[in-house]
Amino acid sequence: MKPSFFSAAWRLISGWLFTRGRGGVDLKRRWIDYAFFGAFVILLIVTAMMSDVFFTQRNLSNLMRQTVTNGLLSLGMLIVILTGGIDLSVGPIVALTGIMVAGFSNQGMPLPLALLICLGVGAAVGAVNGFFIARFKLQPFIVTLATLGAIRGLVYVYSDIPITPTDPAFRASLGAGMVGPFPIAALIMLACFPLVWFFLNRTRSGRAIVAIGGNEEAVRLAGINVTWNIFLAYILSGLFAALAGVILASRLGISQPSVGAGFELDAIAACVIGGAILGGGGGSTFGTLAGVGALGMIDNLLNLFNVQSYYQQILKGVIILVAVLARRKQR
């Protein structure tokens, strides 16, 4: 695996490093836009083919399940990033809704109702974020940093020990359920991508959100309620985090109050690898999906090749940097 992995990586990086210079700028940009992911995906597939486990149905459905959390979080994160903001509080929301849904289940509450309440809780946390950011024009980083800590505290107030739901239906439905060869959870996540695409491209609020990240004042002067749309973006992010939390709890079959640390970073990474620009003005659902897939595949592959998880983190960091460098704005 090693020689091909490195030679392909080298070609990718050297091509980027050494085609700099006059005249090549436009061509290079196009090359990056269309070829970056192509090269990356080919690289991953080649690597995957070297593993005899990767293309087993068991591993693939595992891979899909593992990307669900980050996929959902990234969608919410994308919406927020498009407004020019950021949402650091998604990790604790995952923990909070996960532990709540487990608690509700053990109290005998029907699952759909528990799910609904948890979605409401996620939306409510998002609304708190959105309220302070949109209404009082506070910096998104600071506001969601504050809720990041506060919600984590709330999780431990709710339960400082893991909760294991006893109801077997809890796992069977969302976490382990399959439709044919596909995990239900993955199908839900995949369905959310076109939904968010539709929201961003075909609804009034979606177009406003995309435009707000580009130039908030111009949007406001066009008569659009900017405050409401930013508020909405954080609610949606909270909602997706809640959905991710419930599904994760269901997949693991146990809800830890400590779960979700660093999840916001993976979500931001997926968006950025997919071409989103922190501060607004760029980003797409397709790119984000690619980013989620790429990150998921890296994790999965390195696991298959028994690479220690610490190395995985290092590699992920490198990949994020390379992706952002390659896509950085050219003059």
Partner 1 sequence: MVDNDFLVMRGISKSFDGTQALKGVNFCARLGEVHAIVGENGAGKSTLMKILAGALHRDAGEILLDGSPVLINSPFAAHQLGIRAVYQEFSLVRHLSVTENILLGQMPSGRLKWLLDWKKAHQQAEEKLAEIGFTGLDVRTQVARLSVSQQQMVEIAKAAVTRPRIWILDEPSAVLSQEELNRLFEVIQKLKQESALILYISHRLEEVYQVADRITVLKDGELIGTVSPREADQNRLIRMMVGRDLGEFFPKRQPRPGEEALRVQDFSREGWFDKISLSVRHGEIVGLFGLVGSGRTQVARCIFGADPHNTGDVFLEGQPVRLRSPGEAVRMGIAFLTEDRKRDGLVMNCSIVDNASLATLNQVSKFGVLDIKKRDERVQEKVEELSIHPTQISRLVRQLSGGNQQKVILAKWLLSQAHVLIMDEPTRGVDVATKVEIYRLISDLADRGVGVLLISSELPEILGMSDRALVMREGALVGEFTRTQASEERLLACAAGVVQ
Residues within the interface to partner 1 (CB under 8 A): 22-23, 25-26, 202-205, 207-208, 210-211, 214-215, 217-225, 281-282, 331
> Dihedrals φ, ψ of 84, to 5°?
95, 10
- Is the CB of 238 or the CB of 280 nearer to partner 1? 280
Do residues 236 and 74 make contact, with C-beta atoms less than 8 angstroms apart? Answer: no
Q: How far is the CB of 208 from partner 1 (least distance, A)?
A: 7
Q: How far is the CB of 92 from partner 1 (least distance, A)?
A: 30
- Is the CB of 52 or the CB of 217 nearer to partner 1? 217
SS3 163: strand
> How many angstroms separate the CA atoms of 321 and 315, rounded?
10
Do residues 276 and 82 make contact, with C-beta atoms less than 8 angstroms apart? Answer: yes
- The residue among 327, 305, 304 whose CA lies nearest residue 59 is 304
In eight-state DSSP terms, residue 26 is H
Q: How far is the CB of 197 from partner 1 (least distance, A)?
A: 13
- Is the CB of 178 or the CB of 221 nearer to partner 1? 221
- Is the CB of 229 or the CB of 250 nearer to partner 1? 229
Q: How far is the CB of 19 from partner 1 (least distance, A)?
A: 14
- How is residue 320 written in tokens? 């994020």
SS3 255: strand
Q: In Å, how far are 30, 50, 175, 213 from 319, measured between CA atoms? A: 20, 21, 29, 25
Q: How far is the CB of 83 from partner 1 (least distance, A)?
A: 12
- Is the CB of 11 or the CB of 220 nearer to partner 1? 220
